Structure 1
């Protein structure tokens, strides 16, 4: 799911997007501020944040108790975007075409992540992979942020996968290079059935690179 369509990437940010961009970022990029320039900056920060957290999770420094909380997802989102956007780590306040009512986000996200952890501890009918992909899919369903839901929830899923994997098994993360024509419908079916098995089968795994 990486990369941008060339025509989309060369498009300047609209007024609302420019208004949410940190002034120093807009100044550094220069005029016009295109979607490609911002995307590349976001990707650079994501790479740095991801590496730092994956190393910690692979080393056993992050537990499911640490990770399956609304605070952790907000913190990840803030770290990914705080140097670019004003909305980093902030729950959205307006209705979107996807996601739940914004007034319900805080309560729903907290209870959903707590329920995932409880289910994992008390009804072990899911695999590690299913738990992790369910974490991603549930957070996407809620869609807590104005933007950046994909990056932040994919990172959280990878960290959950690492934290839940037994120490004697290889450290792996999800391979998010997916066919959207298969992935998006699978997410929608998860919303209806809340069964992570299809998504878990669809999304592959890759080994964590050492060093």
Structure 2
């Protein structure tokens, strides 16, 4: 039986080749996939806690974290997407856009351009916009932002009191609205949400 994925607002559809990369063939519904991925993500959280002083602002760490989060689910975990999506830069520009984001973020930190929360929120929004991977970009970008905060000696974001931001919940709606406002360079909603 094939995996039946429900498209929700803010989610990026997978193409047939990406769907074929599913390792867990026993999964048949979106809910099962979400639960399976969440179990994998919890393993990645433990991996991250054991990782000493990671170079968060690097392509290697970006890929490694995604791989740790999704390696038990997708064969392509940690591999940049190879097709355009409904969000994100042209797929051929992912590595360049990431390099620019990492350099800009280093500059923001070194020059104290914004407070730490705003640096992490802007980093998160830009990483979501680049959309480096076929799937899991929002969850990955949230973990990357929290890792960035840790590298600055700051506590992680609460992300809407830890609400489910994957399923179609009210908190997910607030999160997506905050990201869309940040796309228009209005970060008030996102800065409020990340600490709510």
> TM-score of the superposition, structure 1-length normalised?
0.74
Q: CA deviation at 1:83?
A: 1.7
Once residues 131 and 138 of structure 1 are traced to their aligned partners in structure 2, the CA distance between those partners, rounded to angstroms, is 11
Structure 1: give runs of 5+ residues left out of the alignment: 1-10, 167-171, 206-211
Question: Computing the radius of gyration over CA atoms, which structure comes out larger, 1 or 2?
Answer: 1
Match of 2:60 in 1: 71
Which residue does the alignment assign to 2:10? none
**1:154-193 aligned within 5 A:** 154-165=142-153, 172-176=155-159, 177=163, 179-193=171-185
Structure 1 distance, partners of 2:180, 2:31, is 28
Q: If the length of structure 2 is used for normalisation, what is the TM-score?
A: 0.79
Return 5+ residue gaps in structure 2 as ranges: 6-14, 166-170
Bigger drift between 66-75 and 47-56 goes to: 47-56
Distance apart, 1:138 and its partner CA: 0.8
Higher relative CO (CA 8 A, sep ≥ 6), structure 1 or 2?
A: 1
Alpha-carbon RMSD: 2.3
Query: Is this contact kept in 2: 1:93–1:103, CA < 8 A?
Result: yes
Describe how 1:90-105 pairs up with structure 2 within 5 A.
90-105=79-94
Q: 1:42 to 1:181 in 2, by over 3 A?
A: closer
Instruction: Count matched residues.
Output: 176
TM-fit CA distance, 1:18: 4.5
1:188 to 1:18, Cα distance in 2 relative to 1, 3 A = closer
Please say if residues 121 and 145 of structure 2, whose CA atoms lie closer than 8 Å, have aligned partners that are also in contact: yes
User: Residue 173 of structure 1 aligns to a residue in which SS?
Assistant: coil
- Alpha-carbon separation, structure 2, partners of 1:199 and 1:129: 10
Q: Distance in 2 between matches of 1:175 and 1:70?
A: 25
